[in-house]
Amino acid sequence: MPEEPYVDAEPGSALETVIVPRTRDLGDGFEVRRALPSSRRRMVGPFIFLDQMGPSVLQAGKGLDVRPHPHIGLATVTYLFDGEVLHRDSLGVVQTIRPGAVNWMVAGRGIVHSERTPPEARVKANRLFGIQFWVALPGKHEEDAPSFVHTPVEALPVIQDHGLELRLIAGELFGERSPAKTQSELFYADVKLDVGTRLPVPSVHEERGLFIAEGQVEVGGESFGPGQLLVLRPGADVVARGGGATRSRLLLFGGEPMDGPRHIWWNFVSSSKERIEQAKEDWLAGRIGQVPGETEFIPLPEPEPNVPRYP
C-alpha cells in the first residue's frame, strides 16, 4: 500500500501525520513493512529506522538469513513478538533472542553482524514476528566502541492496570525505568490494550510515535489499523484507546530531537557524509570486521540505494 498523507480532521488535531508503509515480500512469504524513514517523516526523536518483520510462517527447512553486514553511527534494537533469531557479531557475541527480550547493539565506529533463524527452529514450520529499530547515536557517541547487550524478558518492567499491559523496553515511562542502557534520553514500550482500555500518552518528550502492530487503536475519534505509524504533535494531549473486537498491540516510542541532521545510506548513519563515504571504503576493504563462524557477507550495494535496504 503506498504512503498516504494524513489530513487533519479539524484544527488542533493531536496527530502530525500518519505513515502507511508499503509491504515488501522478501521471498518464501516473508514480509517486511518499513515505516521509517519515510518521505513524510525521517525520524521520531533518535529513532531513524523502523522495520516490522512478519508476521510470517517460514516453512520447515526455511528461515531468516541476514548475512553479515556492517553498521556505523547507530544502535540496532531488536524485539520479537513471536519466533527466535540468532545474533552473531564481530565482537564474538552469539545470542539468541526470543519474544519479550531486547538485543541492543551499539555500532559506534563500526560493527558487523548476522541475523538468522537458529538451526533447531528450522526443523519445523516457524512463525516470525518482530520489530527492528535503529536509534541514531548523539554526536558525542557516534564513534564509540561497538558493544552488545542482551536484556532478558524477566528483567524488563511490566505495568498492568485494568486491561492494559505495558512492557518497558527502554528508557523511562510512568515512573518505571528499563535496565537497557541507552545513549540518549528516550522511551520505547510494548503496549497491549483490551477493547475500550485507554492509554494517556505522556508528553514529557517532544517527539513521539505510536506504531500499531496488531488490532485497532483509536486516537482523536479515528480508528487506525496494523502497520500504521502515528506521529503525535509535540505537547499534544493524546489518549490511545483499544478499538475493534480484539486486543490491540502497539509500540510507543520517542525522545528529544536529534542534535543535528543525520545522513542514512544503506546500513550507515552519520552526521557526516564524509564519514559514510569512509565506511563504504572500509567495508569494501574488509576493515570493519568479520563475524566468527560466518563465511558469507553482504556486498556494498550497486547501484547505490536511494533508501536504506533491508539486507
Q: What is the pLDDT of residues 112-152, one digit of tens each?
A: 999 999 999 999 999 999 999 999 999 999 999 999 999 99
pLDDT in tens, 245-264: 999 999 999 999 999 999 99
What value does the mean pLDDT of the chain take? Answer: 92
pLDDT in tens, 212-246: 999 999 999 999 999 999 999 999 999 999 999 99
- The CA-based angle 290-275-259, given to 5 degrees, is 115
Residue 280 sits at φ, ψ, to 5 deg, of -60, -45
Average pLDDT, integer, range 21-34: 81
Does residue 3 lie within any of the structural domains? no
Measured between alpha carbons, how far is 218 from 263 in angstroms, rounded to an integer?
34
Whether residue 303 has a cis bond before it, omega within 30° of 0: yes
Is 90 exceeded by the pLDDT of residue 3? no
Does residue 267 lie within any of the structural domains? no
Does residue 144 lie within any of the structural domains? yes
Q: Which three cell numbers stand for residue 35?
A: 515505516
> Which pLDDT value is given to residue 23?
83
User: In Å, how far from its chain's centre is CA 294?
Assistant: 25
Annotated binding site: 69, 71, 113, 115
Does residue 299 lie within any of the structural domains? no
Does residue 118 lie within any of the structural domains? yes
Measured between alpha carbons, how far is 183 from 187 in angstroms, rounded to an integer?
12
DSSP string, 243-273: ESSS-EEEEEEEESPPSS--EEETTEEES-H
Measured between alpha carbons, how far is 57 from 126 in angstroms, rounded to an integer?
6
Lowest mean pLDDT among 2-6, 44-48, 82-86: 2-6
Measured between alpha carbons, how far is 311 from 298 in angstroms, rounded to an integer?
7
pLDDT in tens, 166-202: 999 999 999 999 999 999 999 999 999 999 999 999 9
> Which pLDDT value is given to residue 5?
46
Full residue range of the structural domain in which residue 73 is found: 8-258
Annotated binding site for Fe cation: 69, 71, 113, 115
Does residue 305 lie within any of the structural domains? no
pTM given for the model: 0.93
Does residue 60 lie within any of the structural domains? yes
Does residue 174 lie within any of the structural domains? yes
Amino acid found at 139: G
Measured between alpha carbons, how far is 109 from 111 in angstroms, rounded to an integer?
7
> Which pLDDT value is given to residue 161?
94
- Determine contact, residues 283/292, Cβ cutoff 8 Å: no
pLDDT band of 310, cuts 50, 70, 90: very low
Give the total number of structural domains in the chain: 1
> Which pLDDT value is given to residue 247?
97
Q: Looking at residue 225, which CATH number applies to its domain? A: 2.60.120.10
Is 70 exceeded by the pLDDT of residue 4? no
